[in-house]
C-alpha cells in the first residue's frame, strides 16, 4: 500500500481542534467532502458514525483508524489528522486519541479494504513514525512524511 495513492495534501491536517469523537468525525467529513467531488459531508459523517456504533476504531496508543464503505466512492480515500489535544475515542486501551487516519472505501472493495487497514495498522505500530507525525506542525510536512515513510 502506497499512501500517496489514497492521500492528498488537502486531506492532511496538523493539530486541529478535536473536542469530541463526534465533532472530529464531522470535521474530517467536511475536509474529505471539500476535496472530493461527489462526496457530501453529511453522508460521510453518517457512515463513519454508523461504523463507530459497531465498535470503536480506536486501536490504542493514541491512534484511531475510522473507516467505512461508501457507495459514491470510486477509489479508496484517506485523510490523516493530528489533534492539538487528545480526545476520548473509546479506544481498546482507554487512552485518548491524537492521531486519526480516516479510510473511505467503495462498497465492493472487500480485499483492498482489509489489506489497506492491515497496512495502516502496521504503519501506526511504528513508534518512530508516530513520534514524527505527532511532532509535525505543518500540513504539507505531514503529507510528505506520510507518503515517504
- Which of 54, 44, 4 lies closest to 24 in space, CA to CA? 44
Q: Which one of the listed residues 67, 113, 135, 137 is annotated catalytic?
A: 67
Distances (CA, A) of 17 to 21, 27, 41, 84, 118: 11, 9, 18, 6, 27
Annotation marks residue 135 as catalytic: no
CB 70 within 8 A of CB 124: no
DSSP state of 75: S
CB 24 within 8 A of CB 57: no
Rg of the chain on CA atoms, in Å: 14
Residues noted as catalytic:
67
Amino acid at each position: 500500500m502506497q499512501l500517496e495513492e489514497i492521500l492528498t495534501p488537502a486531506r492532511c491536517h496538523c493539530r486541529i481542534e478535536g473536542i469530541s469523537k463526534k465533532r472530529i468525525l464531522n470535521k474530517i467529513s467536511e475536509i474529505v467532502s471539500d476535496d472530493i467531488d461527489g462526496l457530501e459531508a453529511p453522508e460521510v459523517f453518517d457512515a463513519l458514525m454508523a461504523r463507530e456504533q459497531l465498535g470503536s476504531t480506536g486501536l490504542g496508543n493514541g491512534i484511531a483508524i475510522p473507516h467505512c464503505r461508501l457507495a459514491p466512492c470510486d477509489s479508496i480515500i484517506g485523510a490523516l489528522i493530528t489533534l492539538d489535544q487528545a480526545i476520548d475515542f473509546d479506544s481498546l486501551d482507554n487512552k485518548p486519541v491524537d492521531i486519526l487516519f480516516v479510510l473511505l472505501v467503495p462498497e465492493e472493495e472487500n480485499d483492498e479494504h482489509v489489506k489497506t487497514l492491515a497496512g495502516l495498522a502496521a504503519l501506526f505500530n511504528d513508534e518512530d513514525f508516530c513520534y514524527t507525525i505527532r511532532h509535525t506542525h505543518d500540513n504539507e510536512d505531514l503529507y510528505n512524511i506520510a507518503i515517504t515513510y
